[in-house]
Homo-oligomer: A and B are copies of this chain.
Amino acid sequence: MPDEQPGAPRLDPAVAARLRRNADGLVPAIAQQYDTGEVLMLAWMDDEALRRTLATGRGTYWSRSRQSYWVKGETSGHTQRVHSVALDCDGDTLLLRVDQQGPACHTGDRTCFDAGDLPLAAQ
């Protein structure tokens, strides 16, 4: 993650203290459509991505491939208005309930899980 700038806003210390980050300083963030319950995607946040998300109400993530922040929909227009953010029981996963405009997936699918059912032997 980028070095902090002096005087830059920081994530609420009470929230930061609850986060359990991986070795890269990241936690997975699940985005769920707030009204239909669809699981849309999973992306990653560091403290600053979470701070921006909480401050702006727009889903903001850390791109591991591009090593930069991205605001969902900034280029595609498929924005994510955040209704709530919950941290799980052990502080290592976030659940965002969002209002997703259009497809959440870069493939054009509504969710990132629409194309991939795996063969299940038993029910």
User: A: which residues have CB within 8 A of B?
Assistant: 12, 15, 18, 28, 30, 32, 36-39, 41-42, 50, 54-57, 81-91, 93, 95, 105-107, 109, 112-123
Question: This chain: how many copies in the complex?
Answer: 2
* Chain B residues with CB under 8 A of A120: 54, 57, 82, 84-85
A120–B88 Cα gap in the complex (Å)? 16
> Distance (Å) between the CB of A58 and the closest chain B CB?
8
A30–B36 Cα gap in the complex (Å)? 17
Beyond known contacts A15-B119, A54-B120, A95-B113: 13 more, CB 8 A cutoff: A18-B116, A28-B28, A30-B39, A37-B37, A37-B38, A42-B93, A86-B116, A87-B118, A88-B112, A88-B113, A88-B116, A89-B116, A93-B112
The reply to whether A105 and B89 contact each other, CB–CB distance below 8 Å, is: yes
A89–B106 Cα gap in the complex (Å)? 8
Sample (27) of A-B pairs whose CB atoms are under 8 Å apart: A12-B119, A15-B119, A28-B28, A30-B30, A30-B42, A32-B37, A36-B37, A39-B39, A50-B118, A54-B120, A55-B121, A55-B122, A56-B121, A56-B122, A57-B120, A57-B121, A82-B120, A84-B117, A84-B120, A85-B118, A87-B113, A87-B116, A88-B112, A89-B105, A89-B109, A89-B115, A93-B113
